[in-house]
Structure 1
Amino acid sequence: MPADVPPFPTTDAEIDADDLDSVYGQLVKGVGHEYVNDRNVDELARRAEEDGHPILATELREWKSPC
């Protein structure tokens, strides 16, 4: 592995936390969960379901559930 490549996926530095496309793109890559909030979680879960990412959709729905 090249020295400048991190050993695991990381959130892009330029992410716009208010842009659903930006947040969703990070989530699909397995990062960016810190940008999920009460305002965007429903839309992100719906989009994940529509795009064929059932595990991501489930994780987002579980994020809303009380502990």
Structure 2
Amino acid sequence: MTASLPQTQAPTHGSATDIDYVYQQLVKGVGRELVTDANAQELAERADQDGHTILATELREWQAPC
């Protein structure tokens, strides 16, 4: 008999203030409504660090004035 390790799961509901949650949603291709002026730069930096260059570029474009 094998014992299984307990698994931790990310919250299914988060907020725009939870950077980890927002980032994971963006990586999945959803959650764009959670990007705000307050978190866009941090999300772009994280995307760069993780090699998600397209996501990082999109976040920087989101911040740019029109």
Establish whether TM, by shorter chain, passes 0.5: yes
Q: Provide the alpha-carbon RMSD of the alignment.
A: 1.5
Instruction: Write the mapping of 1:1-67 to structure 2, written as runs, cut at 5 A.
Output: 14-67=13-66
**Structure 2 segments unaligned to the other structure (5+ residues):** 1-11
Letter aligned with residue 40 of structure 2: V
CA radius of gyration, larger in:
2
**Structure 1 segments unaligned to the other structure (5+ residues):** 1-12
Percent of aligned positions with the same letter in both sequences? 64
TM-score by length of structure 2 reads: 0.78
Paired residues, number: 56
> What is the CA-CA distance between 1:66 and the residue it aligns to?
1.2
The 4+ residue runs of structure 1 with deviation greater than 6 A are none
TM-score by length of structure 1 reads: 0.77
